[in-house]
Structure 1
Amino acid sequence: MDAVIIAAGFGSRISALSDSKPLTPVCGIPLIELGVRQLAAAGVDRVTVVTGHEGARVEAFLAGLSARMGLAIHAERVDDWSRPNGFSVIAGADRVAALGGRDFLLVMADHMFAAEILQRLAREGAPDRGVTLAIDRRIDNPLVDPDDATWVRTQADGRIAAIGKTIPAYDAVDCGAFLVTPELPEAIASAIAAGKGGSLSDGMQVLADRGRAATMEIAGAWWLDVDDPRAHAIAEEQAPAQLNLMGST
């Protein structure tokens, strides 16, 4: 199974701790390595990492990680890492297709997940959906930063009605883990053609409007967006007990 990790952005909110978000260590292990190991534990055997800011450093680390793990890790660098993250999704999907793949797990480089989230998500594919998003119904989850969260409003059948950081009504939060089909990069491109900025959420909304955006509830499982020093401190404290990857070499 393929996976794509988005690791292109600057990471301004965590820059006080590190000049490369993907290489920021948590309990001595870079975030990007934790992400790769989480995906491998979910059954992924090939990972594409979309790089940008500090791309050469991240790619050099990935080459060594690939050798250590015996796992195929490919880097796909975007020319302009300041553009919205949907451009990175398109770049990653193009590399997956070039390698002969199709559907893939998609995560952000700064997100951590309990093992069962990605393991369950990998099995969620179905013909009636173009994407499946892991969602947390705990909109008051103390680990979630409400000022940075992407919110989701679902329909009665669990499909997405609306998604974004500023939607007025919501009943879940986007966990940052997706099972993607080729419909999602096409939807992002469609949103860009219609004048949208090109964020991942723009493409998700296109699929939601088509009735093709499904969800998977994480049922209280642990996850964390390590996006700023506060979240990093939480990760240092909680990750050893929450992740079965800690201590791996």
Structure 2
Amino acid sequence: MDALIIAAGYGSRLADLSPSKPLTPVAGVPLIEIGVRQAMHAGVTRVVVVTGHKADLVEAFLADLSLRVGIEIVPVRLSDWSTPNGYSVMAGATRCEGNYLLMMADHMFEADILERLLGEDRADRGVTLAIDRRVDSPLVDPDDATWVKMDAEGRITAIGKHITSYDAVDCGAFLATPELAIAIRDAIAQGKSGSLSDGMQRLADAGRAGTMDIEDAWWMDVDDPRAHNLAEELAPWHLALTFATVREG
């Protein structure tokens, strides 16, 4: 299966730490490398990365990384990286074969989250989102989180940064089918901005957006200096396998 990693945005809140958000190091390892290695550990055999801001730097790093870790990495460059993240999904999905693991370049996950997510392929879903019910966790930034409301069967009914009633937080990892990019495109045609959440909401409205509860597993969104400091402290403990493979070369 392919993985699609979104790595096009500016990342203004981490700009003082690195000229490129995907290349921002955590414990000495760039975020994009952590993501690629995590996808590989989950069973992915090819990685598509959507680039934009500082694309030359990111793509040069990816070319070297591909050789070092032994996996094909396909860069897809956005001409306008200021567009909402749904445009990255649409661009990257054109290079993915069938269903794919969708990840954000600034998110980190314990290995079993992604492994379990790859096993969530179901005919009655157009997408499955990894969710965390620990909405009060100190690792969650309430000002930046994407919130999720679900029905009794775990299907998404509402998703977005500004919904006021919610049951969980979006972890930034999805098992996506080709329906997701189509839903984003259709949302744009209906006047929406083109965010990933716009497409997710369309699938939710059709009863096609499921969830997978990560339960007590660890994940982080490294989006600002506070989160980066926490990641420097916590990631080597929770992602020991990932960092061990880096040390092994």
Q: Shorter-chain TM-score: what band?
A: over 0.9
Deviation string for 1:128-173 (max 9, x for gaps)?
A: 1000000000110110000000000000110000000000100100
1:19 is paired with a residue of what secondary structure? coil
* Residues in 1 aligned to 2:95 and 2:87: alpha-carbon distance in whole angstroms: 13
- Equivalent residue, structure 2, for 1:245: 242
Partner of 1:41: 41
Partner Cα distance (2:16, 2:61) in 1: 21
Q: Write out per-residue CA displacement over residues 105-131 of structure 1, whole angstroms, 9 at most, x where no aligned residue.
A: 000000000011000001100101000
Aligned length: 245
Q: After TM superposition, list the pairs within 5 Å mapping 1:139-154 onto structure 2.
A: 139-154=135-150
Aligned to 2:81: 81
Q: CA deviation at 1:70?
A: 1.0
Deviations 1:39-83 (Å, cap 9, x if unpaired)?
A: 000000100000000001100000000011110100000110000
Alignment of 1:93 onto 2:75? no
- Equivalent residue number for residue 165 of structure 1: 161
Pairing partner for 1:109 from 105, 110, 113 = 105
1:16-57 deviation digits (Å, cap 9, x = unpaired): 211100000111110000000000000001000000000011
The AA in structure 1 aligned to 2:163 is I
Amino acid at match of 1:17: L
CA distance, structure 2, for counterparts of residue 200 and residue 183 of structure 1? 12
Q: TM-score w.r.t. structure 2 length? A: 0.98
Unaligned runs of at least 5 residues, structure 2: none
Measured in 2, the distance between the counterparts of 1:102 and 1:76 equals 17
Question: 1:22, 1:159 → 2: CA distance?
Answer: 31
Q: Deviations over 1:183-238 (max 9, x none)?
A: 00000000000000000000000000000000000011000000000000001000
Q: Which amino acid aligns with 1:10?
A: Y
Return the match for 1:135 from 107, 128, 131. 131
1:4-19 maps to which residues of 2 (within 5 A)? 4-19=4-19
Match of 2:203 in 1: 207
Alpha-carbon separation, structure 2, partners of 1:128 and 1:191: 21
What's the CA shift for 1:95?
1.3
Q: Distance in 2 between matches of 1:24 and 1:212?
A: 35
CA–CA separation in structure 1 for the residues paired with 2:218 and 2:69 = 25
- Separation (CA, whole Å) in 1 of partners of 2:118 and 2:74: 20
- 2:180: which partner in 1? 184
Structure-1 residue corresponding to 2:60: 60
Give the secondary structure class of the aligned counterpart of 1:10.
coil
Distance 1:67 1:121 in 2: 27
Report the residue type matching 1:41 in the other structure.
H
2:189 maps to amino acid: A
Determine helix, strand or coil for the equivalent of 1:73.
strand
Runs (4+) off by over 6 Å: none
CA distance in 2, matches of 1:128, 1:224: 29
Using the size of structure 1 for normalisation, the TM-score is 0.98
Shift of 1:13: 1.3
